[in-house]
């Protein structure tokens, strides 16, 4: 994997974690996400 792609994946991961982290527990629940799953969801976002 090249450096630019790695950086973009890292940036997308951090942005996803930040956006989900700002959501309330209720909003996350409405999306079917538990607060403890935020990092896993962010990893899945860059994988697919």
User: CB–CB of 20/28 below 8 Å?
Assistant: yes
**Which 3 state secondary structure label does DSSP give 31?**
coil
Beta carbons within 10 angstroms of residue 33's beta carbon: 16
pLDDT for position 1: 61
C-alpha torsion angle, residues 24, 25, 27, 33 (rounded to 10) = 130
pLDDT for position 36: 97
Q: Taking the domains of the chain in order of start, what are their residue ranges? A: 1-43
Q: Which residue has the higher pLDDT, 48 or 13?
A: 13
pLDDT for position 48: 73
Query: How many whole angstroms from its chain centre is CA 14?
Result: 7
Interatomic CA distance for residues 10 and 4, integer angstroms: 10
- pLDDT tens-digit readout, 1-47: 699 999 999 999 999 999 999 999 999 999 999 999 999 999 999 99
């Amino acid at each position: 994997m090249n450096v630019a792609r790695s950086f973009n994946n890292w940036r997308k991961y951090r942005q996803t974690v930040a956006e989900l982290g700002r959501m309330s527990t209720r909003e996350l629940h409405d999306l079917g996400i538990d607060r403890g799953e935020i990092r896993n969801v962010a990893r899945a976002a860059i994988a697919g």
